[in-house]
Structures are given as C-alpha cells and as structure tokens.
Chains A and B, each alone.
Chain A
Amino acid sequence: DAGVTQSPTHLIKTRGQHVTLRCSPISGHKSVSWYQQVLGQGPQFIFQYYEKEERGRGNFPDRFSARQFPNYSSELNVNALLLGDSALYLCASSGGGGRRTGNTIYFGEGSWLTVV
C-alpha cells in the first residue's frame, strides 16, 4: 500500500515567487495536514483539512494557503516567498475527524524548499 506521497521532493525558488506543493494521503484517509519543519525544530502546524474543509490553521501568514480536493489530495500554496520560508514541508494524513481514542498521523517524505 502506498503511504503518503508528496511532490516535488526538492525545489529551489527565488524570493517573491510562488510555490505549490502537492500531497496524496494514504488510501482511505480523509484528513490531510501540512507542517513546516526547520532545522533544529519539530514540525510546526500550518493547516488541516478534513473532507475538503479547513479544520485548523496554525500561526502562519496569509501568504500560505491550502486546499483539499474531492479525492482527498491536497495542495499547499505559498506566495511572495521569503528566505525564511526555506524549510522541509511535510504532509500528514490520518483517518480523519471524529472523537476516538488515538488518532495517528502518518507523514510523507516531505518537500524540501530552498528560497534564494
């Protein structure tokens, strides 16, 4: 079974440009979350989507946006890139919403973004 897949794996962008990162969740998973990880830090929450609806947003500027498609795949968009946006962007999928004991999220390999 395929895990969480992300594309592209590596990319280099210039300040001020726009980037789109893509993610396909594990088959059957309806929730996708995006995280940013910089060196020396743990993953920082950016967005969560469940059933195509935004369910949570972290403390990131409006330059960051995302969406989830009917097949549960997702895109993360970042506009007007800054040098500080250079990071590993992780997509995670999980079964989704609703309260139940234990809800594990599974990460993809990540997209390494370098802004020059």
Chain B
Amino acid sequence: DQQVKQNSPSLSVQEGRISILNCDYTNSMFDYFLWYKKYPAEGPTFLISISSIKDKNEDGRFTVFLNKSAKHLSLHIVPSQPGDSAVYFCAASDFIRNRGTYKYIFGTGTRLKVLA
C-alpha cells in the first residue's frame, strides 16, 4: 500500500523552461509535505516544504503547490537549469500521537533531466 506516489519515473525538460514534478498521496492525515533532491552518491537534500494550512510555498526558483482536496502536490522549477538534473523525492508526514513524533513516507522519486 503505497501512500505516497510519484507516477512519473522520469522527466526531461529544456533549459530555461518550467519543470513540474507531481506527487499524490492517499492519507488525509498527512499535514506536512517536503521535497528532496538527490544527486548520485549523495544523500537527499531538503529543498522546500509546505504545511497543509497553505496551498503554495515559494523559495526562489522553486514553488510547491498543495491541493488537499485532490491529495496532490507539485513542485515547479522555473527556470530549469542543467544543475537541477537529479532525482526528486516527495515526502509526506503526519504526527503519530502515541509516538510523540512525526512519521515520514517517501515517494519513489522522479528523475529530472534538464537539457542544455
């Protein structure tokens, strides 16, 4: 039962254009969502996050949109640069009361290739 899904394993975009990475989730209890970027042979790097009380969060070239009714979030990168080529993971978290901490579920990732 995959609670967080990234249905596009790969995406190619021309340099300077917009990259849109999508993520769907099934658990309505998730209240905090994160995007990570991962280069080969490195650990995932935190990119941007959004709380369920918002529908948009922007940080420079990166914007995350959240549609709670559709249980869908997306990451927009504008303009895309060759250095953005990496695997992008979305993650969703909810607070587990009997643990007193958050639980994180990751998608399977989307490999973005930005063509020069």
How many chain A residues touch B (CB < 8 A): the figure is 33
Q: Are A101 and B32 in contact (CB under 8 A)?
A: yes
Interface of B (DSSP majority class): strand
Cβ contact of B89, chosen from A43, A96, A97, A108, cutoff 8 A: A43
Stretch in B14-22, B62-70, B98-106 touching the partner = B98-106
Contacts of A48 in B (CB 8 A): 99, 101
Q: Are A102 and B49 in contact (CB under 8 A)?
A: yes
Q: How far is the CB of A112 from chain B (nearest CB, A)?
A: 8
Contacts of B41 in A (CB 8 A): 112
- CB-CB contacts below 8 Å: A8-28 with B: none
Q: How far is the CB of A93 from chain B (nearest CB, A)?
A: 11
Contacts of B42 in A (CB 8 A): 109-110
Known contacts A48-B101, A56-B103; A107/B49 CB under 8 A: no
Contacts of A108 in B (CB 8 A): 43
Binding site for A on B (CB under 8 A): 4, 31-32, 34, 36, 41-46, 49, 51, 53, 89, 91, 93, 95-96, 99-109
Binding site for B on A (CB under 8 A): 4, 6, 31, 33, 35, 40-45, 48, 50, 55-56, 88, 90, 94, 96-99, 101-110, 112
